[in-house]
């Protein structure tokens, strides 16, 4: 396996600071819930939360994709939210939005539960394999439209490499 450095930790930190400020401005005066999609969200969420000001709370969901390797399959909800979303603004936090299948599934699920709004925040917005042309990722740190798989800073391959401090391409 060969890795190529794509985005350094210094670059990640600088952009996270900017995106955190934008979210803080947009949600000023609103109570909102940030929903992280486990497990990939953990590193990104831990880094961006200190840069988001406002009346927020957090919760998590876990979904399973019955695919193999780097392909995704059908989705199944494994862990639902503990917090109610009815009448609340929700910011859905994901490590990467690739095909859009996961965030679209969760966005529709939260809308059905009565969320006032559901916006998407992603570390990486990857449109190349997007199956849903109408999917809008309002907040993202980086765009990436290549075929290579990403590792590090929360991205994994078979549950490994999430702990790498930078983002790498698997080549």
Q: How far apart are CA 28 and CA 54, in angstroms?
A: 6
Q: How far apart are CA 146 and CA 127, in angstroms?
A: 9
98 is catalytic: yes
At residue 77, φ and ψ (nearest 5 deg) are: -80, 120
Long-range contacts of 131-140 (CB under 8 A, 24+ apart): 131/99, 131/100, 131/101, 132/99, 132/100, 132/101, 132/104, 135/97, 135/100, 135/103, 135/104, 137/97, 137/103, 139/19, 139/22, 139/23, 139/91, 140/19, 140/97
Residues in the chain: 171
**Catalytic residue selected from 59, 74, 80, 98:** 98
Active-site residues, by number, are 98
């Amino acid at each position: 396996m060969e890795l190529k450095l794509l985005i350094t930790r210094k670059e990640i930190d600088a952009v996270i600071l900017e995106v955190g400020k934008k979210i803080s401005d947009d949600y000023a005066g609103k109570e909102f819930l940030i929903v992280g999609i486990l497990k990939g969200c953990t590193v990104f969420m831990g880094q961006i939360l200190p840069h988001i000001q406002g009346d927020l709370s957090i919760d998590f969901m876990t979904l399973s994709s019955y695919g193999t390797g780097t392909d995704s399959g059908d989705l199944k909800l494994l862990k639902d939210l503990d917090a109610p979303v009815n009448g609340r603004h929700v910011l859905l936090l994901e490590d990467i939005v690739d095909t859009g299948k996961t965030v679209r599934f969760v966005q529709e699920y939260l809308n059905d539960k009565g969320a006032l709004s559901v916006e998407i925040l992603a570390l990486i917005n990857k449109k190349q394999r997007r199956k849903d042309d109408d999917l809008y990722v309002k907040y993202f740190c980086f765009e990436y439209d290549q075929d290579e798989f990403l590792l590090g800073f929360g991205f994994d391959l078979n549950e490994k490499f999430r702990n790498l401090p930078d983002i790498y391409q698997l080549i």
